[in-house]
Every structure is written in structure tokens, then in C-alpha cells.
Amino acid sequence: MPAETTLADRRHIALHLAHRWFAFLEAPGGDLSAHLTMFHPEVRLSGHRGTHMFANDHRSLVAWFAAVPDTISSHHIVHSVYSDADNGQGVLRMVVAYQAPGDTEPHGSIISYETRIEFAANTPRFVALDKTPTLSNTRPTYETSWATNRVLSLVHAELGGITRSTGSLRAALGDDVRQVFAQVTAPEGSRSYEALITSIDGELLGSRAVRIDIQDDIRSPLPTAKHLEPIWHSVRD
């Protein structure tokens, strides 16, 4: 991780962690040891505005993961806000639409997340996460998000400058990306798929789109971009 990061870099890094966290929960078969590097050794995972503690270290977090049902699920980040904390950590607040398939129809909830991220270590990691359901998710059809979260974890890692790559994806999307979206239709656990990435530049002055061929291994922390093709770059007058 670079010694000096901008506010934009830290926002991308925080979103990288969030998308990677959700993708791990959405399909069985991930590498738990590698996943634990995303969490401080004394990470606090809580619920209901901190009134219920699920985990307060790696050992209890592993136990929590073991209790999570071994089924597919989805987590769509509907809204997110990043800010710097006074102690040098980052705070990422999110509204997330969660779903899991049921016998007759999906069930789920809209969840308010607040996370704290440490940037001082060689690897950025969660210090604390709180998840508080706010209302039921009554959408009648299940909408997968595993591949979308996998791809956006990769994209935000690239934009945050924490991957070892040629930088071609960051160059294609621009140096001042304020919003980025992924359109992916691959089911959970797919090994190869396509993604359409669109981004909006700073001050909403332009947009870009890039098509990427993705190779994936559910046990790998991130998928791999095998081929990148810019589709358009528009600038508003």
C-alpha cells in the first residue's frame, strides 16, 4: 500500500474491502485464511448499533463464519459514504440490500452497515463492522451479486492503487473516478465471465465504459482481468 494515499484512494480501498467481504459470504469455497487478512486481529463484528457482539477477534470471527449458512446469497450496496476519522482510520457507511433464496421466494433485509478501516498496516483491514437490519427486503425475485462484488472488489483495488498490475484498468477508467458500476450476469462461483464497467469522472464531467474478460477462482482473494476493451469515453460540455 502506498505510503501516501488521497481521500479518493482511501474511499476506493474501503469499497474494495466491502465488496470483497460480501463476495466471500455469497458462495461457499473461499479461502478463509486469506480472507482473515482483511480483519484486524482484534476486529469487532457487532449488530444492532453495537448492542450485540458477534466477534471480537479472529478466533470468534472464524466461529461466526462457521455459523453462516453455507448457501448462496446476495448483497447489493445501494448507497455508501466514506469519511476519514480523526485517528487516521476510515469510516465507510453503507445501505445494503441482502437476499437469500427461499423454498418459494427469496427473503432478506435492508441493512445499515458502519465499518472502520485501518490504513497504517501494509494491508488495509477492517477494525470494526456493525450491521443493523432496518426493514425487510420484499423484492420478489432473487438477484445475484457475487460476480458483481468480485469485479468491483478488483476495480476498487486498482483505483485505490493496492494491486500489482500494469495499471491499464485505472488508465482506462480515468484518474478521478467518483462513481463506478459493474454489470455482470454470471452466477455464483463462475470461473470465467464478462463485465461491463462504467465510471463517472470528477465533477460529473465525463463517463467511460470498459468491457473486461474475467478469469476467477473462488479461493483467490481477487479475480483476474484477462482482456480489457474500452467502449466509450464521453465528456460533457
> Alpha helices, DSSP H only, in the chain?
7-26, 32-35, 58-67, 146-159, 168-173
In the numeric block, which cell numbers belong to residue 173? 477508467
Across the range 3-26, mean pLDDT stands at 92
pLDDT one-digit tens code per residue, 69-116:
878 899 999 999 999 999 999 999 999 999 998 888 899 999 999 999
Q: Given this structure, which CATH class describes domain 7-136? A: alpha beta
What pLDDT is recorded for position 203?
65
pLDDT band at 224 (very low <50, low <70, confident <90, very high): very high
How far out from the chain centre does Cα 215 lie? 18
- Between 146-159 and 7-26, two packed helices, what is the crossing angle to 10 degrees? 160
What does the pLDDT read at residue 49?
A: 83
- Domain spans in the chain, listed from the N-terminal domain onward: 7-136, 163-235
What was the pLDDT predicted at 131? 97
Three cell numbers, residue 138:
420484499
Q: Please state which of the ranges 107-116, 117-126, 142-151 shows the lowest mean pLDDT.
A: 117-126
pLDDT score, position 210? 96
* Whether the predicted pLDDT of 150 surpasses 80: yes
| Exposure of 127 in the CB half-sphere (CA atoms within 13 A) | 13
pLDDT of residue 181: 95
- DSSP 3-state helix, strand, coil percentages of the chain (rounded to 5)? 25, 40, 35
Please, which residues have CB within 8 angstroms of residue 104's CB and are 6 or more apart in sequence?
Answer: none
pLDDT in tens, 166-221: 788 888 888 789 899 999 989 999 999 999 999 998 766 788 999 999 999 999 99
Which residues are within 8 A (CB) of 163 and not within 5 positions of it... i.e. 6 or more apart? 154, 157, 222
